[in-house]
């Protein structure tokens, strides 16, 4: 299979300055809702990019767990590779791709740690085994074998039998406050529609069309 022959025309929609909301959060919520309705796979999955103090970027996928008080919320291990990079440099970008709808959204902003109490509440809502897993996994660290993790998982499960599992200090939420949004709708002949929102000094959002 020649990769250069894989080609698809995008025809599902149109995006204009007049058919988009004034507020980018509303536009995002509408598109996420449509992705869920259309049964796009993992509609809340987003690729997040972080950058180390030395200026080296890295990316990975996480799940969006809410949009509240102007922040996009996700959960992870604070000592993971991403956690360390975010401690060095709080600037982040998020990318959602909904292939089924021929759409993507890019968001740029700054993270801060989610309130501890809110992280506790979300942690408590997770399935039992996921809570145990979060406690024992030194995310992003080198381990000797899968057996090491499985042993730790069993030992930790026994330790917490019949008790309320405590959220580990190194695991919790992040809230991203955006300063830029871009909504992308695939169009024919690669002449895609792109609408950018940038936040102004007074907090208002300026909307512009970008070249494909
Ligand atoms: C669909 C999907 C959802 C994921 N959701 C999360 C998540 O919500 N939080 C998380 O820490 N890792 C999640 N992961 C795993 C991350 O992509 C990544 O492997 C992990 O966080 C370690 O990243 P790091 O070493 O760059 O810190 C998910 C992976 C996939 C493919």
| Dist CA 64 CA 84 (whole Å) | 20
Domain count, the chain: 1
Which pLDDT belongs to residue 205? 98
Which pLDDT belongs to residue 16? 97
Which pLDDT belongs to residue 142? 98
Taking only the tens of pLDDT, the chain with its 212 residues reads: 899 999 999 999 999 999 999 999 999 999 999 999 999 999 999 999 999 999 999 999 999 999 999 999 999 999 999 999 999 999 999 999 999 999 999 999 999 999 999 999 999 999 999 999 999 999 999 999 999 999 999 999 999 999 999 999 999 999 999 999 999 999 999 999 999 999 999 999 999 999 99
> In this structure, which residue's CA is closest to atom 29 in ligand 1?
61
Q: Report the CATH number that the domain containing residue 179 is assigned in CATH.
A: 2.30.110.10
Q: How many CB atoms lie within 10 A of CB 183?
A: 23
Residue 36 structural domain:
10-127+169-210
Does residue 144 lie within any of the structural domains?
no
Q: Which residues are catalytic?
A: 190
Strand bridging mode 205-210 / 57-63: unpaired
Does residue 67 lie within any of the structural domains?
yes
Does residue 135 lie within any of the structural domains?
no
Test site for ligand 1: of 45, 61, 73, 149, most ligand atoms within 8 A of the Cβ: 61
Does residue 1 lie within any of the structural domains?
no
Does residue 5 lie within any of the structural domains?
no
Does residue 3 lie within any of the structural domains?
no
> In this structure, which residue's CA is closest to atom 11 in ligand 1?
76
Which pLDDT belongs to residue 202? 97
Which pLDDT belongs to residue 1? 87
Does residue 26 lie within any of the structural domains?
yes
* pTM beyond 0.75, yes or no: yes
**Cα distances (Å, whole numbers) of residue 198 to 179, 209, 210:** 6, 11, 12
Does residue 64 lie within any of the structural domains?
yes
191 φ, ψ to 5°? -95, 70
């Amino acid at each position: 299979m020649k990769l250069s022959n894989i080609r698809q025309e995008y025809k599902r929609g149109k995006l204009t300055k007049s058919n988009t909301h004034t507020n980018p959060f509303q536009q995002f919520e509408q598109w996420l809702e449509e992705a869920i309705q259309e049964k796009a796979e993992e509609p809340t999955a987003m690729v997040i990019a972080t950058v180390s103090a030395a200026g080296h970027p890295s990316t990975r996928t996480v799940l969006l767990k809410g949009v509240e008080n102007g922040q996009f919320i996700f959960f992870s291990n604070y000592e993971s590779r991403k956690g360390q990079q975010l401690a060095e440099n709080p600037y982040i970008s998020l990318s959602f791709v909904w292939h089924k709808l021929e759409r993507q959204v890019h968001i740029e902003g700054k993270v801060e740690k989610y309130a501890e109490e809110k992280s506790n509440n979300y942690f408590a809502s997770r399935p039992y085994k996921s809570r145990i897993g979060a406690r024992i996994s030194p995310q992003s660290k080198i381990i000797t074998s899968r057996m090491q993790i499985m042993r730790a998982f069993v030992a930790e499960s026994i330790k917490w039998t019949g008790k309320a599992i405590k959220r580990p200090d190194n695991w919790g939420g992040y809230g991203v406050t955006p300063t830029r949004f871009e909504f992308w709708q695939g169009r024919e002949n690669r002449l895609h529609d792109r609408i950018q929102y940038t936040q102004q000094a007074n907090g208002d959002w300026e909307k512009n069309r970008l070249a494909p």
